[in-house]
Structure 1
């Protein structure tokens, strides 16, 4: 298996990312369109993190930081590439970004029905906060 390459998305990646989410992400969001993703990358060029293997997009995560809190969205790994460490590598990159920016706690929104996603977040050290329906992890600063 070849090396996994982790990098920030560029504007030319956005159509591929949107198509990838239709295959790999659970559910859709109102902002899952070209305009929404363009705004994200324009506002924070390092927020959308991609994982590639042999030039193929195999995973994504959005690591958004508003200056106060760290938010994780769209952790998605291609169904045929799961359980190969791709999600872990993406989360490690996101958490490194957060720590470098001064973030102290990451949280993720996970659909209640997404049992696969919940298991992945739990394995990564995140714990559910039932009150808010999000998963959190305190980061080392």
Structure 2
């Protein structure tokens, strides 16, 4: 079953997302998400291996199906500019395509995660989802 990311991971994501204008955090269908107005720009959860006999469409299948052999994966998904989707997808681990949304990328969070890169990616996602007036407030970040 999927669930919440560990508190220390959620705290790091909360610090990044909460520093952006007019953002609110709320529980998602699983895990937690950050929104600007009514548009989600970041979603974090933990996923466990896909149960035998389950596959695409199972709620835990996205990252677990792409990266089998893990007991649990902590992931964050976010929006990227359309031009960046193919490039990030081609990188492979820790990036993956969640299988929904044309411009959505997932990132597996590990001990080796570059949190400065996460901040840049989530700020870009915010810019994509935020109204133009708010997006301009974080230009140059």
Greater fraction strand: 1
